[in-house]
Structure 1
Amino acid sequence: MKRNTEYLPEDLLVEILSRVPEASLARLRSTSKGWNTLIKKEERLAKKSLVVMLIHNRVYLVILDLHNDNIVKVISQFSLNDPLSSSSIEVDIRHVCHCDGLLLCTTMDERLVVWNPCSGETSRIIKPLNSKYSSDVYALGKSSCNEYKILRVHHHGDGFSFSCLVEYEIYDFTSNSWRVVGETTEWSLPGGWRHGGTSVDGNTYWLSRDFNQDCRPRLTTSLRCFDFSTERFGCVSLPVDHASYNLFALSVTREEQKLCLLTSHAKTYDIINIWMATKIKTTGDMSWSKLLTVKRTHPTFTGISFLADRENKVVVCPSKYENSSTRLHIVGTDKYTKVDHHGVGSKSSLPVMYDPTLVQIQQGSLGIGTWKAPIT
């Protein structure tokens, strides 16, 4: 970075970079800390957010620009071919989660792939023993010692109407192995909440269903956090007057990557509120502020994917239904827009904020095999 900018004024460099294609600009952010800092601080370069979307079992990088007429544009696709197979057929992806710019992809055949979209580095992970269940929950997280880990949560039942045994285990990159870290029958991650885990500061949050001693569900639900340092689940406080609203989903703000909660009024679904966590304490107490209140403009459902834009005061979410699934809904206090994400026909989508990273994937002492997966 220093060598490149030694003879160029910063304003000229910004002018040059503003003409660089979005996909190339994303890759530049992962080449050095200097490039990353410059691109992030300059509004002309940073205003176009990168979003990862799972579209028809493929992972895409998408530009989401809410400053200029709500532009949504697919800029590149992640192509993953199985290195153990002679076939060139791409691997289908079932779910995607993220942490610090790294993505954890669950394939349709229940393998796990950790991917850095900018560098193209991937790492093939050994799947958990006896894992045959598409309902298993996975999350990628980071401990206070900057060690990345994978969490797997397995339900011995649906965990909706009645309690079931919930087991959770950790994959350690350095030892290349899985180990059980806990189990419970007091709560579960049912239905649409199962794959709605949201990563903030290295830990992952879920909405959960609680059970009484007779194994029947309570009327209330909880917000739980898995701490990758202690490798334990903990309960986190919700906004005040919990009985006055229904819980739908978790996400983050587009700008600061703060935890967000989407709720609706307990007696009517016409009003939707977005809450933002302003302070997270180690005790599990959390301070919340109401970020946005909007009218419901399209069907909302449990576990809905969304992004909250604090600056523009809008919430962005995809359609659920196949005949309209190539659209994103952008809803504000006094606006509603439907935008096609051009270039891709699909039947499902999941937006996840993406911040390019310099992080390299840890490799175990036994070697878990790596390969380059190009962005096309």
Structure 2
Amino acid sequence: MILFSTSSKEVGIRQVFHCDGLLLCTTMDNRLVVWNPCSGETSRMIKPLNSYSSYDTYALGKSSNNKNKILRVQHHHGPGYLEPCLVDYEIYDFTSNSWRVVGKTREWSIPRMWRAGTSVNGNTYWLTFTFRQNGPRSRDTLRCFDFSTERFGPVSLPGDPRSYYVFALSVTREEQKLCLLTSSRDEVYDIDVWMGTKIKSTGDISWSKLLTVERTQRYQFITLRTGMSFLADRENKVLVHPTKYKISSNCLLHILGEDKYIQVDLHDVGFKCSLPVQYGPTLVQIQQGSLGVGTWKAPVT
């Protein structure tokens, strides 16, 4: 558990989401706070809606007029894994210190293994399940939440999505380009890393294959996990990802390239093993409203 101080009180951090130098932290007592580690500034403690669920997903984003907003995606009556459930999403406004509902759907959901989200240019991307109208079977899709329009929209996946398995989203170490990790459906199970080269006005993305790593005897025991933590180094053409086994406190860091495989043993990392947030310091001030702690505001009908 990570601690930082706000209002002369230590706060335990449960999860962290990064956007343009600011960190959105969910606390151990189920509240939210925005933190700028560079300046030490924090927002007021923000209460979520009147109920908290472990299925909730949060993200920090930025609109076209540089106003920060918090998005909450809530899954009702189920995790949204393979079967539809009600998904609604709300926006927290820093100016009025209030929440408002901006949409709901049963057509798609964000499974728990993909709920970390990835921030690029102020918007957030998630891998999702989209459910077919004629049955419960789902298919992997990519969606973006635009913090200016406050809407979700589908985004194209590279190539033929039927030819590979989708595992995780991340960013490149340089320039913060969106990255997608896939594995071919054939018996070889090669690893492919795709990079988003251009985001079109329609929301679709142009993709290029950054790296292909062929499965060899040298790392045949590495298990790709859905939602796994990874980073792509565009300059050195390598993929970095950790693995950890429950019976051990050690974490293995795997560095994969087209002609290289390096394994680093990180000792005594504790309960979790994940790659750090791609943090870049900023002096941007956190927006503060005038009404104190966040409150629930009913949607306009």
Q: Does the TM-score normalized on the shorter chain lie above 0.5?
A: yes
Query: Of the candidates 149, 171, 179, which is equivalent to residue 92 of structure 2?
Result: 171
Letter in 1 for 2:195: M
The code of the aligned residue for 1:176 comes to: N
Structure 1 contact 158–190 (Cα < 8 Å) conserved: yes
2:33 matched to which residue of 1?
113
Please tell me whether the aligned partners of residues 163 and 217 of structure 1 are also in contact (alpha carbons under 8 angstroms): no
- Secondary structure at the aligned position of 2:183 is classed as strand
Which ranges of structure 1 fall in alignment gaps of 5 or more residues? 1-56, 59-78, 370-376
- State the identity as a percent: 66
Looking at structure 1, the residues matched to 79 and 284 of structure 2 have their Cα atoms a distance apart, in angstroms, of: 36
Deviation per residue, 1:286-317 (Å, 9 max, x gap) = 11000011145311111111110010111111
Normalization by structure 2: what TM-score? 0.89
Find out whether 1:291 has 2:210 as its counterpart: yes
Please state how far the C-alpha of 1:105 moved relative to its aligned partner: 1.2
| Distance (Å, rounded) in 1 between the aligned partners of 2:94 and 2:249 | 40
Picking from 223, 235, 259, the partner of 2:154 is: 235
Give 1:256 deviation, angstroms: 1.0
TM-fit CA distance, 1:215: 5.4
Alignment correspondent of 1:260: 179
Range moving further from structure 2, 175-184 or 344-353: 344-353
Alignment partner of 1:355 is 2:280? yes
User: Residue 361 of structure 1 aligns to which amino acid in structure 2?
Assistant: I
Shift in Å, 1:84: 7.5
How far apart, in 2, do the equivalents of 1:142 and 1:105 lie?
A: 16
> What is the Cα deviation at residue 110 of structure 1?
1.4
The equivalent residue for 1:181 is: 102
Q: Aligned ranges for residues 1-376 of structure 1 at < 5 Å? A: 57-58=1-2, 79-81=3-5, 83=7, 90-156=10-76, 157-195=78-116, 197-214=117-134, 216-218=136-138, 220-268=139-187, 270-295=189-214, 297=219, 298-322=222-246, 323=248, 325-340=250-265, 345-351=269-275, 352-368=277-293
Distance in 2 (alpha carbons) for counterparts of 1:259 and 1:303: 15
How far residue 82 of structure 1 moved from its aligned partner, in angstroms, is 6.2
On the 8 A contact 1:325/1:348 being kept in 2, the answer is no
Q: 1:267 and 1:325, CA in 2 relative to 1: closer, same or farther beyond 3 A?
A: farther
The structural deviation recorded for 1:368 is: 4.5
**Which amino acid is the alignment partner of residue 284 of structure 1?**
G
The alpha carbon displacement at 1:271 in A equals 1.2
Instruction: Give ranges in structure 2 of 5+ residues lacking alignment.
Output: 295-301
Aligned residue in 1 for 2:297: none
Question: Residue 347 of structure 1: CA displacement?
Answer: 1.8
Cα distance, 1:161 vs structure 2:
2.5
Q: Determine the C-alpha separation between the residues in 1 that align with 2:42 and 2:123.
A: 21
Q: What is the DSSP-based 3-state SS (H/G/I as helix, E as strand, rest coil) of the residue aligned with 1:290?
A: strand
Q: Provide the C-alpha distance between the structure 2 equivalents of 1:175 and 1:241, rounded to a whole number of angstroms.
A: 45
CA distance in 2, matches of 1:137, 1:183: 14
Q: CA deviation at 1:328?
A: 2.3
One-letter amino acid of the structure 2 residue matched with residue 130 of structure 1 = N
User: 2:70·2:93 contact (CA, 8 Å) conserved in 1?
Assistant: yes
Calculate the TM-score normalised by the size of structure 1: 0.72
Q: Hey, what's the Cα distance between the residues in 1 that align with 2:261 and 2:244?
A: 17
CA contact (8 A) 2:252 2:263 kept: yes
Secondary structure of 2:152's partner? strand
How far apart, CA to CA, are the structure 2 residues paired with 1:237 and 1:315?
Answer: 23
Residue 299 of structure 2 aligns with which residue? Answer: none
Equivalent residues of 2:32, 2:48 under 8 A apart: no
In structure 2, what is the Cα distance between the partners aligned to 1:269 and 1:160? 27
Closer, same or farther in 2 for the Cα pair 1:301/1:101, shift >3 Å?
same
Could you say what secondary structure the match of 1:243 adopts? helix
Matched residue of 1:192: which SS?
helix
Whole-angstrom distance in 2 between the partners of 1:200 and 1:269: 32
- Deviation of 1:324 after TM superposition, in Å, equals 5.5
What letter corresponds to residue 289 of structure 1 in structure 2?
S
**Aligned counterpart, 1:34:** none
SS in 2 for 1:114: strand
Larger Rg: 1
**Other structure's SS at 1:235 match:** strand
Q: Whose helix proportion is higher, 1 or 2?
A: 1
DSSP 3-state at the match of 1:254: coil
Structure 1 residues 108 and 340 mapped into 2: Cα distance closer, same or farther (>3 Å)? farther
Q: Name the counterpart of 1:15.
A: none
